A and B are shown apart, each in its own frame.
Chain A
Amino acid sequence: MVLGIAILLVIGMAVYVATPLLSPESPGEGALPIDVTPLTDLKRRRMVVYENLQDLEFEYKAGKVSREDYEALRENHLGEAAQLMLAAQEQEEVTENDVIIERQVATRRAQRKLQPHDSYTCPECGFENPLPVKFCGNCGTKLPQHASKK
């Protein structure tokens, strides 16, 4: 009796483990998200430098660090923070461009989905035009206008 329940439990657990594999990948989910992008890493490192700076300030006020040490170290930390900020800005520009490009890709993908696939494949030369166009990008033949604006 107890053994039977135990075996049922094992089977139930196995089904529970297998279920995610059998279900199709839901469309909203892409690959696993990246947790630490170079940009967040840079920002976080800058936070650490600020924290170090705060600590230094506190230790100086508490009388643990002499004036010369304090000034030299402060200079050092600020330099490090500036470097990280610069690197982050460069990275941010890259990311911004990435976002713009990604957005364009996404709009084009969406447009593509709205249109039947063959609508911008040239009937003459068979060239697959990447965008809905009136004339073929390869041979210049006029393409049939489909219900893309529906």
Chain B
Amino acid sequence: MNQVGSVGLIAALAFAIYGVVAGAVAGKLRSPRVLKSAQRAVLGFFVMITLAVFSLEYLILTDNFHSAYVASHSSRALPLIYKIPVLWAGQEGSLLFWTWLLSIYAGLAVWLNRRKNRQLVPYVISICMGVATFFSLITFLVANPFTQLSLVSATGTTPFTPTDGNGLNPALQFHSMIIHPPMLYLGYVGFAVPFAFAMSALMTRQLGDNWIRVTRRWTMVPWMFLGTGIVLGGQWAYHVLGWGGYWAWDPVENASLLPWLAGTAFLHSVMMQEKRGMMKVWNMVLIILTFFLSIFGTFLTRSGIISSVHAFAKSDIGPYFTVFLAIIAAFSLTVLFLRLDFLKSENRLDSVVSRESGFLFNNWVLLAAVLAVLWGTIFPIISKAVENQTVTVGPPFFNRVMIPIGLLLLFLTGVGPLLAWRKTSFQSIKRNFTVPLIFAAVVGAFLFWAGVHHLYTWMSLFLCTFVFASILGEFYKGARTRMKISKENFFAAVYNLTMRNTRRYGGYIVHLGIVLLFVGFAGQAFRFETQKLMGPGDLLQAKDYLIRCDRLTGGENSNYTYEAAVLAVTKDGHALGEMRPQRRLYLASQQPLSRIALRSTLAEDLYVVLAGRDPDSGKVLIHVIINPLVQWVWIGGMVVLLGTLLALVPSRVERQMEEIRKTEEEAVEANHVL
């Protein structure tokens, strides 16, 4: 199977290289038959990479430890459910997986555009296959998952098959870990498609807003996956790492946040081009930046250039990625520069107080966020280069910079939708802002009275209320108007309002999700921690909770041994049941890991960790964290996901436009035939 995988990889590389050339030739000659061949090359690439992926998965599932990759990332005792994700647990496998996802995206892009955008598609193929060439090349040459173990001795090399593998990193043996990496990768990889369309539009000089409309969904889907992946990653960190938080500004976390922020800016600023024909160069810059950052993110995650809690193996793929990033930057900026004349704005900014300027500010702030996170993330590299010592920038820097930026963004989330396009007079502002502001002021005063005196926390909750009220107001006003015009009942009105413009109202729901996320973030200000060595019968008071240790137990299975504390929890005298935090020792890797016990409500989480055992007294160290409002982070993430899905549904307006486009296309084709 190792050989089959290698055959798949080599053939995939060949198809990718052919795809680059055939795509470019088809674009240049505008030849349908060369295009057809290029399209088939994309399919060939997909089939071959799939062959390689299935070969590797087969090696993993059949415990073939002759394969170096399987031996170092899997073991016999590993449960089946955790054997599947071994595919992306290591460097080599995850690069192969990345390439496979790219082949799926490229294949879909080609297939869905087989009857439209036939001028753009050749170069789209060329660029996607260019990226594919790079990834299959490093997977084949530098990080090949199909190398076999062998013993080197004086007499020569002999094949070697160990009896068992090293096992999967225990921290990765967690349910959201099965889905978290694929989500992130689907995000990272997916930005290749809108980037390819943008480059193709530049190369073919088709620089109206066609490429923007074509790529809107191609951008939203990876953006959605990336966001979901980030939230799932936070959930994993919260449940597995045992320090009671979900975000630590770790370089790898930042790496995923960067393209997400740039993608957010892009999704907002494309509306300016669609509605007003403005920001054409800017949109190009943003999509280039987003794609660049997603490759950069993969590079940071995979190269081990910056040390991180994710502790992925250091490797020598760094220089290859550096060259590839340089090629992307040089190529895209050159093409953009050559086409600057075609990207003149059709309109000017009419007024500072308008939806346009709201979008503009939003873009600036998001870009400031990108720069701040980027600076903090690569600071260790810069400091090493300049002063020859590695200085790491920790959470204090990020919190100091990012909290104000985040609050500003939250503010714009509320203000933007209330401003009209072109210009908004003071009267209109008064109409739209009065109610949400009064509502927020009342809640703000109540919060202050209730003891929320921390400035950022108070501001965050105040702004959350303001944005929440303004979004509800949008739905309410829209529904009321529909009720008046079409005599619908309230629910029908809300439904029709949303379905008429799914993009706008889906967007509002995404904003609502962001509000909930901020509510969750604000809860961190009220976090409470305590710890104690506990044996049977010992008590621990944590705010309103009383925790009693009933007994200490232990056990083992084929994968790990564990010790656990059985704790009885009461709150204000009411029994809440048992909690059993565990500490496991995984046998194959000999790595310890805490399994937390968690009791969640919408108001707060009771988070209990068995941090270790005191060898003298035999007692265990119980660490208790009370984390208010954490659940709202996960709920907010879900709402963002739902809002994005809603925005992906074609709206009625869009369907009308599509019909017009189709009839016109038919007319054009009829002319063509004449």
Q: Give A residues with C-beta under 8 Å from B.
A: 2-3, 6-7, 9-10, 13-14, 16-21, 23, 25, 29-37, 40-41, 43-45, 47-48, 51-52, 56, 58-59, 61-66, 68-69, 72-73, 76, 99, 102-103, 106
Contacts and interface: CB of A to CB of B under 8 A. Distances in A.
B428 A69 contact: yes
B660 A103 contact: no
Given A35-B206, A52-B421, A99-B671, A13 B30 contact: no
B120 A35 contact: yes
A37 B119 CA distance: 12
A61 B497 CA distance: 14
- Majority-rule SS of A interface residues: helix
Contact of A17 (B15, B275, B421, B431): B15
Interface string B460-494: 00000000000000000110110011000000000
B7 A16 contact: no
The 3 closest A-B pairs by CB, nearest first: A66-B427, A20-B36, A31-B30
B399 interface: no
15 contacts: A16-B40, A17-B37, A33-B668, A35-B665, A52-B421, A58-B478, A58-B481, A62-B478, A64-B428, A64-B431, A66-B431, A73-B420, A73-B422, A73-B423, A76-B422
A37 B40 contact: no
Interface residues of B, number: 65
Given A17-B18, A43-B664, A62 B30 contact: no
B35 A32 contact: yes
A9 B432 CA distance: 64
Interface string B24-35: 001001111111
Contacts of B35: 32
Contact of B210 (A14, A36, A102, A103): A36
A59 to B, nearest CB: 7
Nearest to B653: A51
A76 to B, nearest CB: 7
A23 B37 CA distance: 11
Interface string B161-204: 00000000000000000000000000000000000000000000
A33 B425 contact: no
Nearest to A72: B423
A20 B428 contact: no
A33 B118 contact: yes
B37 to A, nearest CB: 4
A43 B665 CA distance: 12
A6 B47 CA distance: 11
Interface string B400-442: 0000000000000000001011111101100110000000000
Given A37-B668, A73-B423, 15 more contacts: A3-B3, A6-B3, A13-B44, A17-B37, A20-B33, A20-B36, A29-B32, A30-B672, A35-B665, A36-B206, A41-B208, A44-B661, A63-B431, A65-B420, A69-B427
Given A20-B34, A33-B669, A69 B423 contact: yes
Contacts of B3: 3, 6
A6 B146 CA distance: 15
A73 B44 contact: no
Contacts of A14: 11, 44
B674 interface: yes
A37 B669 CA distance: 12
B201 to A, nearest CB: 10
Contacts of B41: 17
B322 interface: no
A40 B661 contact: yes
A69 B424 contact: yes
B333 to A, nearest CB: 25
Contact of B660 (A6, A13, A47): A47
